[in-house]
Structure 1
């Protein structure tokens, strides 16, 4: 299937590792001009060098000046952004009862403010051209809050509310706005969560992972490639009638429809 992203400019935030990297690679394979971003510039450039048409750009998602510079570098290399993939580091694990005021601020600064800023910088052009894709990498915690990730649940739910509202406002301009919610995908982030669980429960990491897998109907963790390919479809011309939704890529982990 031709996804219709050949020659489109795709900016993928925080894409030197994990889910962001998988999305960048999938879009690159489909012919998009990909901007790989991250704090490790050398790694961003290395990943970009493995794709057909890509550049590596330094980016600290939480820093406004860095965000502005990354978008400027994108426009200088490939022109305006057609596909915006929002991604970034989540807050530290925490219980709801243990959240501090600083934790609330941190959740907003990591998960809401960067997305709003990136959209403000790229959405007007998408609307003027009559085509655009905004996709946020979220979490299954948006629909089923995860234990011990209270700050993440809070920040991602706030982002989801903003994006759903935005989707309805710009749908008539040819711009879709969606979220893609991973469950347990085999990334370093998930390995870290398994290690934290193992430490809390006094078990080894392998046992923590086994217990986690047992809660997933397909019986395994997803691969980054599976997640990346799903993201590429949602960013495609083929998905032009899908907007304002939160799609789960979780192997059936969340039991609601």
Structure 2
């Protein structure tokens, strides 16, 4: 399928590895110019090389998303290099595992700043150009926890759910202007984040990581963890022209993990 987005400009945050890196490469393979943001310059350069190998152009931006004051500066760099951002993929790192009880107010505040306010601020910065052009895509990655809250991930469950509410509201506001707004919720995708969560659970339960991973796979109808490129394929499709009538939705990529309808 031709997604008809060659030559478009995208920003993918959290692109130093895992889902963000896979998304950036998938968009590059469609001919999109991709600005990539993360805190680690060395990891960004690795992603940039993969983008170039896929036939795309990359603009690495060292960017701590919790620093809201630099949003305009970073977006301006994209506009100077590639033009207005037409595809925005809001992909933030996950907060540390924690129970719902006992998390410090400072932890909640810092994670809200990095995971929620940064997404809203970046989106607000790029939306005017999308609305003027009558075309744009805002795609936010979440977690299966926004559908069925996950144990010991209270911060992720709560903060990502706030982004779902924001995304749904925004979708209705801009749908008539050619801008779609969607959420993509991964299940157990084989990334460093999921491996770290498996390791943390193993430590809490005095089991090996292999035992925890095997038990987790048994809960997935597909019988395995997903691959990052399987997740990024959904994001690329939503970024494409054929998805122009899909907005205000949550799209699961979980191998059938969640039993809810």
The aligned counterpart of 2:63 is 59
Structure 1 position 64, deviation (Å) = 1.4
Q: Aligned partners of 2:60 and 2:253: how far apart in 1?
A: 27
Secondary structure of the residue aligned to 2:59 is strand
Deviations 1:2-59 (A, max 9, x none): 0011000000011011100010000000110011221122331332233222221111
Count of residue correspondences: 257
When normalised by structure 2's length, the TM-score is 0.96
Structure 2 alignment gaps of length 5 or more: none
The aligned counterpart of 1:142 is 146
The aligned counterpart of 1:21 is 21
When normalised by structure 1's length, the TM-score is 0.97
Secondary structure of the residue aligned to 1:50 is helix
Q: Please show how residues 1-257 of structure 1 align to structure 2 within 5 Å.
A: 1-51=1-51, 52-257=56-261
Q: Aligned partners of 1:94 and 1:206: how far apart in 2?
A: 22
8 A Cα contact 2:94 2:193, kept in partner: no
Q: Aligned partners of 1:53 and 1:250: how far apart in 2?
A: 30
Structure 1 position 140, deviation (Å) = 0.6
Structure 1 position 203, deviation (Å) = 0.7
Q: Aligned partners of 1:72 and 1:145: how far apart in 2?
A: 37
Secondary structure of the residue aligned to 2:43 is helix
Structure 1 position 72, deviation (Å) = 1.5
Structure 1 alignment gaps of length 5 or more: none
Secondary structure of the residue aligned to 2:167 is helix
Q: Aligned partners of 2:64 and 2:237: how far apart in 1?
A: 27
Deviations 1:182-232 (A, max 9, x none): 010000000000000100111110001001111111010000010111110
